[in-house]
Amino acid sequence: MEAALASAIGVLIAAGVYLLLRARSFEVILGMTMLSYATNLLIFAAGRVASAKAPILREGVPATLGNYVDPLPQALVLTAIVIGFAMTALSLVLAIRGRGNNRTDHVDGLGAQESER
């Protein structure tokens, strides 16, 4: 399980960095989103991923770390998902506005024709 999770995090980071280095705004936004997902998985993995263990105290179960998972990474990931969604929406609105103003979706504002000159 740990190897699969680490591999997924690595693939998301590699794809995110690759897309961040592209010249078009939609690909940059997609790259930021992939890096956000990789970060969320990393934080979630730090909270000792375990099945059949509750993040809150229950009656009849001793209050030791072996019986529970840490609820803080779960709360942080949930907050990061909400903030990431808002930032993605804002970035998309800015990209659409920039495309309307510049008539291109290149990050630097230059189209393919202008950059060849």
Q: What type of residue sits at position 50?
A: A
Beta bridge mates, 106: 24
Position 53 scores a pLDDT of 77
- Which pLDDT score is estimated for 13? 97
pLDDT at 32: 94
Structure tokens at 102: 């510049």
Whole-number Å distance between alpha carbons of 96 and 43: 31
Buried b (16+ CB within 10 A) or exposed e, 53-84: eeeeeeeeeeeeeeebbeeebeebbeebeeeb
Per-residue tens of pLDDT for the chain, all 117 residues: 789 989 999 999 999 999 999 988 899 999 999 999 999 999 988 877 777 777 778 888 888 877 887 788 888 999 999 999 999 999 999 989 988 888 888 877 666 555 555
Domains of the chain: 2-111 (1.10.287)
Q: Give 68's strand partners.
A: 54
The pTM for the full model equals 0.77
| Cα–Cα distance measured from residue 117 to residue 113, given in angstroms and rounded to the nearest whole number | 7
Residues ≥6 apart with Cβ < 8 Å to 48: 69, 70
Quick one: pLDDT at residue 114? 56
